[in-house]
Structure 1
């Protein structure tokens, strides 16, 4: 989490989550990056600080995003200023493994308003196909599914999976192979009966353009934390459509702060279920005025602006460094 204040008393905050293993970034590296740039920012113009951060974007994308976005919050970026109410549906994960438990879980989730579900695969092809089939039967005519291998399949396994897949009710298949295995993911996309979505490789406009040239890739998943700020994320969402694909947005590991930021971008750029549902998973919420959520939907009322619950933030904080 980064908090900033300028010489007129305006303040802003943002955060982002470095997920070990999903990229070359480390939490230690991100922390060191922020300390270096925070110290260098003192007494300088906001625009110059943002420019310097983005010059080092490749060093630590997530850390850069947390700092740049905190400055965009300080400036009250237009995408965050809500002139009218807006609502955006979220997806929900399917956690159960056994058929009866799956049916019970989905019945409850559908009754509480969810209409899109994420199904994790990537462990065992036969078991994954069997579980997906159970979930398809339980959601038939009621909800849409997104399958996510989370980079866990080899090329051969992913091809076997899509060749055995019934496409009924499935919106997309996400990231079957490792992020840097563009050729393997492309082969799976060509063979798949449902559109493929790339996730971890998508960090720049160049990545989006490359994905747009791959037959069978119909979706790109964007996350604020990989794009360096609100403006750059909006540009990415526009670029996905310009290259003939559909954007999906959201970090399922993001905090309440990150969900608010992504939801504000989504209201102008997204027409499907958001994946910015990470704030529903921890026991603690970060805002005094919690992000409004009901019936599977984030509803942002006109004028909504979050305020940090400082005692909760302090309780959850493991280290703090302040530069003045």
Structure 2
């Protein structure tokens, strides 16, 4: 079985409401959907959701690098030779993890379909039966965030990921408002998205929010500041998660060596797909560091890929793949039983892709063949 053709679709996924984080506001989510066809007729789908602030890739550059560099180099290769595929992609262009993730995910979808098994069976089998879904609160006024949290509690959610990262005093007011509204039994995770900049500012914030009982604090400092994470961890008893500071093996080695975090947020778009994500998970497991599979707000395609990784590993203790719940229209049908996610038993990613929706949302496209 060989890769015969790759169709590339640059789309905009429509959000129900704007997604606001410390460094950007999204009215739609730019995504690249791949359709990979083999010479046996099996079709697999992949997705790239780049972020110039995190992966160093733009939507436009990802489309171009896939069309002109990565897709041509994997044409004619076996979609099941994951190590070889990544080696070829890494030799042709450095980094660009979201672009590589699109090809990686599509190939795992093909492999699962060819063997008649879900992707998680290719990764060691299913360990978790279900995961609770955490609702993500975009940055807003304290009152608005508290009101949305209260509504979500009524829907059954038991945990929130609060986006903050503007100014510490205002962020603490947001966290206090949500905590007072939802009570002490609801889990609150705080994601700063690098917005507090450095360890000193972060420690100031932690001192004034010490009684708010947060589950963990995620990426408060600049992504390159591993030593800042070490300082925060040494001076605080709040669980510390690293996100933007972890892309691949190089960063994971430094995090482990310096004990820079209690928990790491592995994202397929940051590391290059399912195959590299499993390598990072094994490294973290050996070091005794808990893992989460996080989201770049992918469609059902990319989100399902992340869930297969999460469901297959014991060290994965949380997931935040809620992209499909935020879209007014999606290209696939990943099913959520809010506030839980339970994967199906279908081969591959287990997602039915609607090509009519892809065409409707498509801004431009390309076909790469032998």
TM-score normalised to structure 1 length? 0.90
User: Are 2:62 and 1:40 aligned?
Assistant: no
Between 80-89 and 115-124, the greater mean CA deviation after superposition: 80-89
SS at 1:22's partner residue? coil
Contact 2:274 2:309 survives alignment (8 Å): yes
Asked if structure 2 preserves the Cα contact closer than 8 Å seen for 1:29 and 1:60, the reply is no
More strand by share: 2
Distance 1:81 1:132 in 2: 36
Measure the CA separation in 1 of the matches of 2:78 and 2:342. Answer: 35
Unmatched 5+ stretches in structure 1 = none
Q: Which moved more, 1:256-265 or 1:102-111?
A: 102-111
TM-align CA RMSD: 2.4
- Between 310-319 and 154-163, the greater mean CA deviation after superposition: 154-163
Distance 2:55 2:120 in 1: 32
What is the 5 A alignment of 1:278-297? Answer: 278-287=323-332, 290-297=333-340
Deviation of 1:247 after TM superposition, in Å, equals 0.5
Contact 2:255 2:261 in 1 (8 A): yes
* Stretch deviating more after TM superposition (83-92 or 213-222): 83-92
8 Å CA contact 1:250–1:274 kept in 2: the answer is yes
- Written as runs of structure 1 = structure 2, the 5 A alignment for 1:76-95 is 76=112, 80=119, 86-95=129-138
Structure 2 CA distance for partners of 1:72 and 1:45, relative to 1, 3 Å = same
Structure 2 partner of 1:126: 169
Residue in structure 1 matched with residue 250 of structure 2 by the alignment: 206
After superposition, give the CA deviation of every residue in 1:54-73 in whole Å (9 maximum; x if it has no partner): 43463311101111221121
| Residues 1:66 and 2:99 are matched in the alignment | no
Question: Using the alignment, how far apart are the partners of 1:323 and 1:216 within structure 2?
Answer: 42
| Secondary structure at the counterpart of residue 58 of structure 1 | coil
What is the alpha-carbon distance in structure 1 between the residues aligned to residue 118 and residue 309 of structure 2?
6
| Distance in 2 separating the partners of 1:241 and 1:151 | 25
Q: Deviations over 1:186-241 (max 9, x none)?
A: 22222233021111121223322321233562011000112223232122122212
Q: Equivalent residue of 2:283, what SS? A: helix
Deviation of 1:308 after TM superposition, in Å, equals: 0.9
Q: Check conservation: 2:267, 2:296, Cα contact below 8 A.
A: no
Aligned residue number for residue 13 of structure 2: none
Q: Match for residue 357 of structure 2?
A: 312
Distance 1:23 1:81, change over 3 A: closer
How does 1:87-106 map onto structure 2 within 5 Å?
A: 87-95=130-138, 97-98=140-141, 100-106=143-149
The whole-number CA distance in structure 2 between the counterparts of 1:180 and 1:81 is: 32
- 1:101 offset after TM fit, Å? 4.1
Residues 1:18 and 2:50 are matched in the alignment: yes
User: 1:319 Cα shift?
Assistant: 1.1
Q: C-alpha distance in 1, partners of 2:345/2:181?
A: 37
Contact kept, 8 Å, 2:221 with 2:229, in 1: the verdict is yes
Secondary structure at the residue paired with 2:215?
strand
Deviation digits for residues 78-119 of structure 1 (CA, Å, limit 9, x no counterpart): 652679894222111234745554443223212222111111
Q: CA deviation at 1:144?
A: 0.9
Check whether the contact 1:53–1:68 (CA below 8 A) recurs between aligned residues: no
2: distance between equivalents of 1:99 and 1:63? 37
Relative contact order, higher structure (CA 8 A, sep 6+): 2
Q: Is the 8 A contact 1:167 1:194 kept in 2?
A: no
Change (3 A) 1:182 1:96: closer
Q: Which moves more between the two structures, 97-106 or 161-170?
A: 97-106
SS in 1 for 2:319: coil
Could you say if the C-alpha distance between residues 298 and 323 of structure 1 is closer, same or farther in structure 2, counting changes exceeding 3 Å?
same
Q: What is the CA distance between 1:185 and its match in structure 2?
A: 2.7
Match of 1:117 in 2: 160
